[in-house]
Structure 1
Amino acid sequence: MTTRKIPHGLYYEDFEEGRRFDHHWARTFSESDALWYANMTMQYNPIYFSAPHAKAMGYEGILVHPLFAFTTALGLSVEDLSEAGGPFLGIDDLQFRRPVYPGDTIRSGSVVVSRRATASRPGWGVVEWTTIAVNQRSERVLEFRRRNLSKMRDAAKGV
């Protein structure tokens, strides 16, 4: 039996500066998600697992850990931005704007900020995006800049 390769993702040429992507998936966080993440990552700050303590600190209840919200927003962008592969080059200017609570649903969107061909790696370019995540009330919860190497179309075809 042979399998057929199905190409996924976009190439360097698809990322024109200013192009906007509204990532179509969203993620609702449950209380179990928040508690699981806090336990698995040993987050011993009680605002992540004790509702009375979180309320005493001025929050509505326990919080979804900000890094859980961030990695979720990043993950929501992968299908549109980096599914075709290419090394991840980092995150800059990560800003947490407001708390995420169990029951909140976040969605994200990205804009191409810049792109440039690389001299050191022919057939590849560096693409940078700004990604913003909002909750179900369209309130901005976080934002960041991200860069990846992205393969050029001709290089992917073997030209």
Structure 2
Amino acid sequence: MRGLYFEEFEVGTVYRHTFRRTVTEMDNVMFTSLTMNVAPIHLDAEYAKTTVHGKPLLNSLFTLALIGAFHVPELTMGTTLGNLGYEEVRFPAPVFHGDTLRGETTIVDKRESKSRDDSGVVWFEHRGYNQDDVLIMSCKRVGLMMKRPADGSVFGEERQA
């Protein structure tokens, strides 16, 4: 399985990713602890009862990372050269453990790299939804993507002689 090369991205295309994932309390505790975010709104059920949500919120950076990863197998696996930036990150609705999340990506724009012959720049918009189709996350991301190799080889495929 490989992602798309720069030439294969078409502006305006929407990908509805097939992966879905139910997020758990353990996901939240592990991610929050690993990143040293000790905010009680994520870790302390008794404290969270006193908040507007009444229960612990899933760490929003975990949500961003998870939704941002749903696209990898079909769009960027082995063909990305890295992220260039994130912008307009939004969390319009809360996420709680037990929610099942899915993602969509729209190709917003693309252009040739100004400094590299082997790559191009692609603008992605990632959106995440919960099991009720409520938008829970959106962001725009810019990535540096490989162009198709000049020798005709393809990542993840054996070259035929």
TM-score normalized by the length of structure 1: 0.88
Q: Say if 1:132 and 1:140, in contact at 8 Å, map to a contact too.
A: yes
SS in 2 for 1:157: coil
SS in 1 for 2:70: helix
Give the CA deviation at 1:38: 2.1
Match of 2:100 in 1: 105
1:74-110: CA deviation from partner (whole Å, max 9, x where unpaired): 1111122221222221111111111110000111100
From 55, 62, 73, give the equivalent of 2:67: 73
Give the CA deviation at 1:156: 6.3
From 50, 75, 81, give the equivalent of 1:86: 81
Length, aligned pairs only: 152
Give the CA deviation at 1:154: 4.8
Q: What 5-or-longer segments of structure 1 have no aligned partner?
A: 1-6
Q: Say if 2:2 and 2:76, in contact at 8 Å, map to a contact too.
A: no
- Mark the CA change 1:100 to 1:82 in structure 2 (over 3 Å): closer, same or farther: same
Q: Say if 1:82 and 1:148, in contact at 8 Å, map to a contact too.
A: no
* CA RMSD in angstroms, aligned pairs only: 1.6
Give the CA deviation at 1:153: 2.0
SS in 1 for 2:58: coil
**Counterpart-to-counterpart distance in 2, 1:61 and 1:82:** 35
Match of 2:131 in 1: 136
**Counterpart-to-counterpart distance in 1, 2:136 and 2:47:** 22
Match of 2:49 in 1: 55
Match of 2:116 in 1: 121
**Counterpart-to-counterpart distance in 1, 2:104 and 2:150:** 28
**Counterpart-to-counterpart distance in 2, 1:153 and 1:58:** 50
Q: Say if 1:115 and 1:128, in contact at 8 Å, map to a contact too.
A: yes
Match of 1:157 in 2: 152
Match of 2:159 in 1: none
**Counterpart-to-counterpart distance in 1, 2:124 and 2:28:** 28
1:17 aligns with 2:17: no
Q: Say if 2:121 and 2:143, in contact at 8 Å, map to a contact too.
A: yes
Q: What 5-or-longer segments of structure 2 have no aligned partner?
A: 154-161
Which structure dedicates a bigger proportion of its chain to helix? Answer: 1
**Letter paired with 2:92:** R
Match of 1:3 in 2: none
TM-score normalized by the length of structure 2: 0.87
**Counterpart-to-counterpart distance in 2, 1:62 and 1:156:** 52
